[in-house]
Structure 1
Amino acid sequence: MARLADYMRDVATLLGETEHVHFVRVDPGSALLVQSVEHESLHNVQARLRADFAQGEGEAEALRAYRNIDKRLAEDNASGALFEPDGAEVIRFPGRETPQPLTFGAFTQPGTLDGVLIRIGGKDDSVPVWLQQDEALYKCTATREMACRLAPQLFKAELRVQGSGRWERNAEGAWHLKKFSISAFEVLDDTPLPAVVERLRQVPGSGWKETQDPYAVLRGLRGDAERWSG
Structure 2
Amino acid sequence: MPEEGGGAVRFRFVAEGISLSRLPLHRTTEYLELLADLLGRVPEVHLVSVAEGSLAVLAEAEPAVAASLRGRLHDAMRPDGGGPRAAWERLDAALAKDQAHATLQEETEGGVVIAFPGVRAGVGAAVPFWQPDELRGRLVRLGGRREDKSGQVENAAGLSAFRCGEGLARALRAHLFETVALHGRGRWQRDAFGRWRRLDFEATGFAPLRDDGIAAVWQDIAGAGGLGLRPEDEGDPAQALARLRAS
TM-score normalised according to structure 2 size: 0.54
> How far apart, in 2, do the equivalents of 1:146 and 1:119 lie?
14
Shift of 1:16: 6.7
Identify the match of residue 191 of structure 1 among 212, 216, 224. Answer: 212
1:180-210 deviation per Cα after TM superposition (whole angstroms, max 9, x unaligned): 1111110112111222113323444643125
1:144-196 deviation per Cα after TM superposition (whole angstroms, max 9, x unaligned): 111111111112x2000100111223344433322211111101121112221
Identify the match of residue 144 of structure 2 among 103, 122, 126. Answer: 122
> How far apart, in 2, do the equivalents of 1:158 and 1:130 lie?
12
Mark the structure with the bigger radius of gyration. Answer: 1
What letter matches 1:182 in structure 2?
A
1:25-58 deviation per Cα after TM superposition (whole angstroms, max 9, x unaligned): xxxxxxxx9x9x9xxx64x25554563531248x
Does residue 160 of structure 2 align to residue 138 of structure 1?
yes
Unpaired runs of at least 5, structure 2: 1-10, 15-31, 50-57, 96-100
> How far apart, in 1, do the equivalents of 2:244 and 2:196 lie?
28
Identify the match of residue 105 of structure 1 among 127, 130, 140. Answer: 127
What letter matches 1:181 in structure 2?
E
Counterparts of residues 1-230 of structure 1 (less than 5 Å): 6=13, 17=44, 42=63, 44-49=64-69, 51=71, 53-56=73-76, 75=101, 81-83=106-108, 89=110, 91-93=111-113, 95=115, 103-134=125-156, 136-155=158-177, 157-204=178-225, 206-210=227-231, 212=233, 213-216=236-239, 218=241
What letter matches 2:191 in structure 1?
N
> How far apart, in 2, do the equivalents of 1:146 and 1:167 lie?
23
Identity %: 23
TM-score normalised according to structure 1 size: 0.57
Q: CA RMSD in A?
A: 4.6
- The number of equivalent residue pairs is 183
